[in-house]
Amino acid sequence: MSLSKPANITLRYADWSHDHHFICALRRRVLMTAQDGSTLLDSDMQDAHALHVLAIASMIASTDDVNSTTQPVATARLLTSGQIERMLVLPNWRGQGIGTGLLTALLRAAQERRYPTTWLLAPLSAIDFYSRWGFQLDGTIIDTGNGYYQRMVLMDQTAMLPMDITWRSLGVTAGRMSLPKQSLLGLTIATLATQTRHTLEILTPDFDPALYDTDTVFDAVQQLALTRRGRLPVRILLFDKETLVYRGQRIIELARRLSSDIQIRAVPDELTEQCDRMVLADSVGYCLTRSHNPRLTLVDFNSAAEVRRLRRHFDQLWESSSVHQALRRLYL
């Protein structure tokens, strides 16, 4: 039975006692040297104490969407010393951002564990890549006998956060994350919007221009509206109507010109207490900030079940809403 491309790639932290056979099998299959330049062994004494991460690909049969299989395709580990190593991805799965996912997962874990230093030994060809993550050169070049490597240290633990968002792929990368910094909300919304291909729903009190009146979001909304014309691909619900009307944002003008493709409604005052801030991308991705906990934003790029639940609530509000009197001129 032939298999199509992966329907889903999930990253999870591994339990060495239960998952060591997966990790060792990956190490045996990858005919390469470890990140530190030493010969890649199946296991060593540090494995039992290290934190491991696995990337699992879910494959759907091209001839039968019901049957599927899963396959570990990548792994890496974080030592108690703060060193990240043994990062490897099966050759056929490279170039899809999986290695970036491994790195972000371990950097996040190192931050949560409050390791004073996070470091790695980088091949000379990868120095520029790790530099973009905030790693800095530390010490001299090391000759391991299998090549030259440079010790690099992550000086700012928060430098990796934007990469943790932008590497994610809508409908592919599963796993809920919470935004540790609200300053990343705009980047998250822009990343979701640019990957949306079918429907985009937004529930917001004030249509904050810092989040929505950016070139990236505007271009994504305009492209979606034009490519999905006549199918109402963009729906926006507001529960602080007066703020929006006088801001003159570009999406408002776009909604006036493409009123069959972008619609803006106002939530009735009696229902505003039920409103959380959310962005729903296609049928799989969401960004959610609860009204009772505005400092916590949850994000997932591949959670169809949660999006279905959130969309039911959005649809209920949509059916109860109408074009606010102050917004009617958009459609005249």
Asked whether residue 5 carries a pLDDT value surpassing 60, the answer given is: no
Give the model confidence (pLDDT) of 265-293 as tens digits: 999 989 888 799 999 999 999 999 998 88
- Beta-ladder partners of 289: 277, 297
Phi first, then psi: what are they for 30, rounded to 5°? Answer: -90, 110
**Closest by alpha carbon to 327, among 272, 225, 249?**
249
Distance CA 186, CA 208 (A): 10
- Beta-ladder partners of 236: 202, 264
Contact 88/112 with Cβ under 8 angstroms? no
- What are the residue boundaries of the structural domains of the chain, listed by start? 3-116, 175-331
- The fraction of the chain above a pLDDT of 70, given in percent, is 84
Phi first, then psi: what are they for 112, rounded to 5°? Answer: -65, -35
The pLDDT assigned to 156 comes to 73
Q: Measured on CA atoms in the order 195, 199, 203, 209, is the torsion positive or negative?
A: positive
Residue with tokens 């564990």: 113
> Per CATH, which fold does 3-116 belong to?
Aminopeptidase (3.40.630)
> How do beta strands 200-204 and 177-178 pair?
unpaired
Q: Measured on CA atoms in the order 169, 180, 309, 256, is the torsion positive or negative?
A: negative
Contact 37/147 with Cβ under 8 angstroms? yes
**Closest by alpha carbon to 30, among 99, 81, 106, 80?**
99
Indicate the pLDDT class of residue 243, thresholds 50, 70 and 90: low
The pLDDT assigned to 82 comes to 94
Q: Choose from 29-33, 57-61, 79-83 the range with maximum mean pLDDT.
A: 79-83
Q: Choose from 23-32, 158-167, 223-232 the range with maximum mean pLDDT.
A: 223-232
Point out the least confidently predicted range of 87-91, 113-117, 154-158, 171-175: 154-158
> Per CATH, which fold does 175-331 belong to?
Endonuclease; Chain A (3.30.870)
Indicate the pLDDT class of residue 143, thresholds 50, 70 and 90: confident
Indicate the pLDDT class of residue 41, thresholds 50, 70 and 90: low
Indicate the burial class of 112 (C-beta count within 10 angstroms; 0-12, 13-18, 19 or more).
Answer: exposed
Contact 120/135 with Cβ under 8 angstroms? yes
Query: Which strands, in side-by-side order, build the sheet including 51-61?
Result: 84-89, 64-78, 51-61, 3-14, 173-174
Contact 239/318 with Cβ under 8 angstroms? no
| Token pair listed for 159 | 């430098």
The pLDDT assigned to 246 comes to 47
